[in-house]
């Protein structure tokens, strides 16, 4: 027994390496787990508690957000309670001390109302005030039926308003913008019939403006209609609040809901989060534009970085004479990967946005001055900046993949009378493609998660339209866009109510991880397909 | 050294030396290869026989810092002359490698690779070439029903014969074979050896082999290399029965190597 350690010399190192892996795994699982739990929790319809405190008659209504030790006391807890009703109370959250609570209950009639503004309201329904002074009390037989009907009508009106404002008015604005540009262009030229042409354009603009006004009037009409009927509810301090139905997105009574309906509500919340636009300075609503922007930008970046990287790698590995200079280039490329990303952002701003974009504007879009088109941050420049940032990863991986193509394959091609380029194109590149894709996967993972450079070259807090939409020319490379990474930063550090934004931050972070994972899985699927196609045997 | 057959020689190696960087692997080789014969290069490992055969179609160009002296004449032209087009040279001097190396493509595409890179698109020509080449490599009957399957679905021996078919699809004048059977089992080896016999009616074949029995079975001429030098060259029957050099005798009787 005494010498058993000697026999298994090296055994401790197995444990050491395993511990290293285990520590890494624990950290990753912990991080993802935390984000997952916190992110998912925010969609779950929590029960609303009625809390009676010892020193006060008036019960509070709220949802528990967290329980923690009171500062300085080990055995005393305090709860953070979400009260909602930010419009009335001024604050959405309150801390209460656990030992001051005298009674807790979950009354069935508590409602959570999701509103378009000011976040949710917690309280009890009182009555519904309809047109022609019709009033329905909460106890009335068809109170809920009427409420649901009215809400349906209002929600249709809102859809209509949205369509009017986003699509139709947006279209007209685009047309007017085009005409104004044309007019500006004409004004610069000097020939006899010019004033006639300008007049034609002016007429067109005038007509469009009329349509615009008509549409705007319809929209504001609809808005008024949607705020005719009122719902009155009472919040915990006894105050009665009237709310236009148009402000209500939905309502639910969490204390009456069973597991099934809570799950259903959870899914609704989740879908709303994924598929709708943000509201209330991004702290409410969904994140669809950010998700979409991130995806489009990552795909564009991949489309740009892959050819560049592969071409560079081919020259470095296949054509360049291996020597001091090539070594120097290789070292520089490797080191480029370590340059702080914000420096790439500054470069992108200076070179792409101001220099390239500015020149493009001078050449093609001078009619739009002083509004810059490409001379300001946008999707194209952001993708290019990130492509530059991830280029080293792709070059290094591609080079390695090219080097790993066995000599037998190259020789076979040459022996058949292929030129060097034919050999590369027909044999080496296909065989190296899976390795190139591995590089692309790494590049995407890095690129999708970058925030700092994007803040300089085209990401905004709120973009009015998606970079890919139904307005000609459908993909708008010059447009600013939203990004999940920036969204997280913005919610966490720039939002007016960071407590309210917290669940959104977790959810957004989770979504970001899932998005990167999904993009990676896509690339991995392509890689496996290629491996099957070109793999095995001598390769 | 042995120049008696120079009248019908197709490849002539004259005072050829070869260097990898500082180290010299071939010393002043003189050898002439006869048309439509099988010439075997034998010798112990590292004697330079692979370097020599790979010099004939300039495969060594791939190696950096490789350098040579002397010349190799192919039908009278120096293949190392700057005006020599190496691509057309390699079409006329095909090569089969030690480890079968089909491309990750279909059997069909493997055979016509040389035609594809030459830019031939006429499907009639391509199909004819596939059939002719596979027949020439004695593989047609085995694969004619699955030409569009991956080449990797074949067995090792079949893959090597596919590589031979790929080489003869270009209709070369010379086929270089660098230990073509060393990765094959005895049955597959026998098949390839039979094939060599057939091929030598149409093509000039240079084969590097480790296996002296094989050299004896398949070749008309044999060259024995040792330490980068050509020790003896002559008709196979002479070299194996009455070697002139002591080293040759020692090697073929198995005393070293």
Average pLDDT, chain B: 87
Judge contact between B138 and B162, C-beta under 8 A: no
Number of domains in chain A: 3
- Together in a domain, A77 and A179: no
Judge contact between A143 and A136, C-beta under 8 A: yes
Distance CA A527, CA A519 (A): 12
- Together in a domain, A316 and A427: yes
Across B218-230, average pLDDT = 90
Banded model confidence at residue B257, pLDDT cuts 50, 70, 90? low
Residues of chain B contacting residue A415, judged by C-beta atoms under 8 Å apart: 57, 59, 90, 94-95, 97, 167
Q: Which long-range contacts (CB under 8 A, 24 or more apart) does B67-70 make?
A: B67/B18, B67/B19, B68/B16, B68/B17, B68/B18, B68/B19, B68/B26, B69/B15, B69/B16, B69/B17, B69/B18, B70/B13, B70/B14, B70/B15, B70/B16, B70/B17, B70/B28, B70/B29
Question: What per-residue confidence (pLDDT) applies to B175?
Answer: 93
Question: What per-residue confidence (pLDDT) applies to A18?
Answer: 93
Q: What percent of chain B has pLDDT over 90?
A: 26
Across A454-475, average pLDDT = 81
Across A350-368, average pLDDT = 85
- Residue A417: left (phi > 0), alpha (psi -120 to 50), or beta? left
Pick from B62, B64, B113: CB nearest A416: B113
Question: What per-residue confidence (pLDDT) applies to A99?
Answer: 85
- Together in a domain, A95 and A222: no
Residues of chain A contacting residue B94, judged by C-beta atoms under 8 Å apart: 415-416
Pick the residue from chain A with its C-alpha nearest to B62. Answer: A411
Pull the structure tokens for residue B79: 């293949």
Question: What per-residue confidence (pLDDT) applies to B3?
Answer: 40
H/E element, B34: strand B23-34
Q: What is the pLDDT of residues A303-348, one digit of tens each?
A: 999 999 999 999 999 888 888 999 999 999 989 888 999 999 999 9
Interface test with B, best of A411, A412, A421 (most B CBs within 10 A): A412
Helices (H), B121-211: 123-136, 140-143, 156-169, 186-199
The alpha carbon torsion through B99, B103, B109, B113 (nearest 10 deg) reads -80
Judge contact between A508 and B72, C-beta under 8 A: no
pLDDT at B4 over 70: no
Domain boundary among A228, A258, A275: A228
Measured between CB atoms, does A323 come within 8 Å of chain B? no
- Together in a domain, A395 and A375: yes
Pick the residue from chain B with its C-alpha nearest to A430. Answer: B104
Average pLDDT, chain A: 86
Question: What per-residue confidence (pLDDT) applies to B1?
Answer: 38
Interface test with B, best of A417, A423, A539 (most B CBs within 10 A): A417
Question: What per-residue confidence (pLDDT) applies to A5?
Answer: 52
Pick from B103, B116, B152: CB nearest A412: B103
The Cα of B42 is separated from the nearest Cα of chain A by a number of Å equal to: 22
Domain boundary among A107, A126, A145: A126
- What sign does the CA torsion over A256, A258, A261, A263 have? positive
Interface test with B, best of A317, A415, A535, A536 (most B CBs within 10 A): A415
The Cα of B141 is separated from the nearest Cα of chain A by a number of Å equal to: 23
- Together in a domain, A183 and A145: yes
Question: What per-residue confidence (pLDDT) applies to B5?
Answer: 44
Q: What percent of chain A has pLDDT over 90?
A: 24
Q: Which of A211, A2, A249 is nearest to A114 (CA)?
A: A249
- At A185 the three-state DSSP class reads helix
Residues 382-411 in A contacting B (C-alpha not used; CB under 8 Å): 406-411
Question: What per-residue confidence (pLDDT) applies to B2?
Answer: 41
Is residue A266 exposed (0-12), middle (13-18) or buried (19+ Cβ within 10 Å)?
middle
- Together in a domain, A313 and A444: yes
Pick the residue from chain B with its C-alpha nearest to A422. Answer: B117
- Answer whether A416 sits within 8 Å of B88, measured CB to CB: no
For residue A46, give the DSSP letter: P
Q: What is the pLDDT of residues A509-521, one digit of tens each?
A: 999 888 888 888 8
Q: What is the pLDDT of residues A452-464, one digit of tens each?
A: 999 999 888 888 7
Range of the domain at A414: 296-481
pLDDT at A49 over 50: yes
- Together in a domain, A333 and A461: yes
- Together in a domain, A308 and A416: yes
Q: What is the pLDDT of residues A129-150, one digit of tens each?
A: 888 888 888 888 888 888 888 8
Position A291 in a domain: no
Distance CA A416, CA B168 (A): 9
Residues 6+ apart with CB under 8 A from A254: A45, A46, A47, A48, A110, A112, A262
- Answer whether A416 sits within 8 Å of B100, measured CB to CB: no
Position A32 in a domain: no
Tell me the whole-structure pTM to 2 decimals: 0.81
- Together in a domain, A439 and A307: yes
Q: Which of A94, A54, A101 is nearest to A76 (CA)?
A: A101
Rounded alpha-carbon distances, angstroms, from residue A509 to A31, A290, A386: 11, 12, 20
- Together in a domain, A138 and A220: yes
Pick from B59, B87, B159: CB nearest A417: B87
pLDDT at A9 over 80: no
- Together in a domain, A115 and A136: no
Residues of chain B contacting residue A413, judged by C-beta atoms under 8 Å apart: 103, 113, 117
Return the minimum-mean-pLDDT range out of A277-281, B199-203, B210-214: A277-281
Residues 6+ apart with CB under 8 A from A41: A503, A506
CATH of the domain at A323: 1.10.3720.10
- Together in a domain, A348 and A422: yes
More confident residue, A369 or A462: A462
Q: What is the distance, to the nearest Å, from the Cα of residue A377 to the centroid of all Cα atoms in its chain?
A: 18
Q: Which of A212, A180, A211 is nearest to A198 (CA)?
A: A180
Distance CA A466, CA A296 (A): 10
- Answer whether A537 sits within 8 Å of B95, measured CB to CB: no
């Amino acid at each position: 027994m005494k010498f058993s350690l000697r026999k298994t010399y090296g055994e401790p190192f197995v444990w050491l390496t395993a511990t290293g892996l285990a520590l890494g795994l624990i950290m990753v699982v912990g991080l993802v787990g935390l984000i997952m739990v916190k992110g998912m929790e925010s969609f779950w319809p929590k029960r609303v508690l009625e809390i009676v405190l010892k020193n006060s008659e008036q019960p509070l209504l709220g949802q528990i957000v967290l329980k923690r030790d009171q500062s300085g006391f080990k055995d005393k807890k305090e709860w953070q309670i979400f009260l909602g009703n930010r419009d009335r109370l001024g604050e959405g959250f309150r801390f209460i001390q656990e030992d001051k609570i005298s009674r807790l209950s979950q009354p069935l009639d508590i409602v959570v109302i999701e509103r378009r503004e000011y976040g949710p309201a917690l309280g009890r329904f009182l009555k519904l005030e309809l047109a022609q002074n019709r009033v329905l009390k909460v106890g009335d037989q068809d109170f809920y039926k009427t409420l649901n009907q009215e809400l349906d009508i209002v929600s249709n009106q809102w859809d209509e308003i949205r369509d009017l404002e986003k699509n139709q008015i947006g279209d007209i604005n685009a047309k007017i913008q085009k005409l104004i540009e044309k007019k500006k262009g004409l004004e610069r030229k000097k020939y006899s019939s010019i004033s006639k042409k300008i007049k034609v354009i002016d007429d067109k603009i005038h007509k469009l403006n009329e349509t615009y006004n008509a549409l705007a009037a319809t929209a504001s009409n609809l808005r008024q209609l949607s705020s005719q009927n009122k719902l009155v509810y009472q919040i915990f301090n006894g105050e009665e609040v009237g709310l236009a139905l148009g402000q209500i997105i939905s309502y639910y009574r969490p204390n009456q809901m069973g597991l099934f309906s809570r799950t259903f509500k959870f899914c609704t919340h989740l879908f709303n989060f994924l598929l709708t636009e943000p509201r209330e300075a991004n702290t409410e609503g969904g994140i669809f534009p950010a998700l979409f922007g991130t995806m489009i930008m990552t795909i564009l970046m991949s489309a740009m970085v892959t050819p560049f990287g592969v071409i560079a790698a081919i020259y470095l590995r296949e054509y360049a004479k291996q020597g001091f200079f090539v070594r120097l280039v290789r070292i520089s490329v490797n080191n480029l990967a370590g340059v702080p990303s914000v420096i790439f952002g500054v470069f992108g701003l200076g070179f792409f946005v101001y220099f390239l974009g500015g020149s493009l504007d001078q050449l093609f879009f001078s009619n739009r001055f002083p509004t810059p088109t490409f001379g300001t941050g946008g999707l194209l420049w952001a993708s290019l900046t990130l492509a530059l940032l991830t280029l080293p990863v792709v070059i290094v991986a591609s080079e390695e993949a090219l080097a790993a193509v066995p000599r037998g394959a190259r020789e076979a091609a040459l022996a058949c009378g292929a030129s060097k380029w034919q050999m590369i194109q027909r044999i080496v590149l296909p065989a190296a493609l899976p390795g190139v894709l591995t590089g692309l996967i790494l590049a995407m993972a890095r690129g999708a998660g970058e925030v700092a450079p994007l803040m300089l070259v085209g990401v905004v807090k709120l973009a009015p339209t998606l970079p890919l939409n139904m307005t000609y020319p459908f993909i708008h490379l010059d447009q600013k866009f939203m990004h999940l990474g920036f969204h997280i930063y913005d919610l966490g550090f720039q939002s007016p109510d960071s407590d309210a934004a917290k669940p959104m931050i977790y959810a957004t972070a989770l979504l970001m991880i899932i998005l990167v994972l999904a993009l990676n899985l896509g690339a991995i699927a392509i890689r496996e397909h290629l491996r099957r196609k070109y793999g095995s045997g001598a390769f | 050294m042995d120049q008696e057959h120079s009248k019908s020689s197709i490849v002539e190696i004259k005072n050829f030396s070869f260097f990898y960087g500082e180290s010299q692997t071939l010393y002043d080789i003189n050898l002439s290869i006869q048309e439509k014969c099988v010439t075997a290069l034998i010798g112990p490992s590292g004697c330079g026989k692979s370097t020599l055969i790979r010099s004939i179609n300039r495969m060594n160009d791939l190696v950096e810092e490789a350098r040579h002296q002397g010349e190799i004449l192919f039908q009278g032209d120096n293949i190392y002359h700057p005006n020599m087009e190496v691509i057309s040279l390699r079409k006329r001097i095909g090569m089969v490698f030690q480890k079968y190396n089909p491309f990750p493509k279909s059997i069909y595409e493997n055979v016509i690779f040389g035609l594809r890179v030459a830019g031939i698109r006429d499907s009639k020509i391509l199909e004819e070439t596939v059939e002719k080449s596979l027949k020439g490599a004695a593989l047609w009957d085995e694969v004619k029903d699955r030409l569009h399957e991956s080449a990797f679905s074949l067995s090792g021996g079949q893959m090597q014969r596919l590589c031979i078919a790929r080489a003869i699809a270009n209709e070369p004048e010379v086929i270089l074979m660098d230990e073509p059977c060393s990765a094959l089992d005895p049955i597959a080896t026998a098949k390839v050896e039979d094939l060599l016999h057939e091929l030598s009616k149409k093509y000039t074949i240079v084969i590097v082999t480790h296996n002296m029995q094989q050299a004896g079975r398949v070749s008309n001429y044999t060259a024995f290399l040792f330490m980068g030098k050509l020790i003896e060259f002559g008709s196979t029957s002479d070299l194996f029965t009455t070697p002139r050099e002591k080293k040759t005798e020692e090697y073929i009787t198995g005393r070293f190597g």
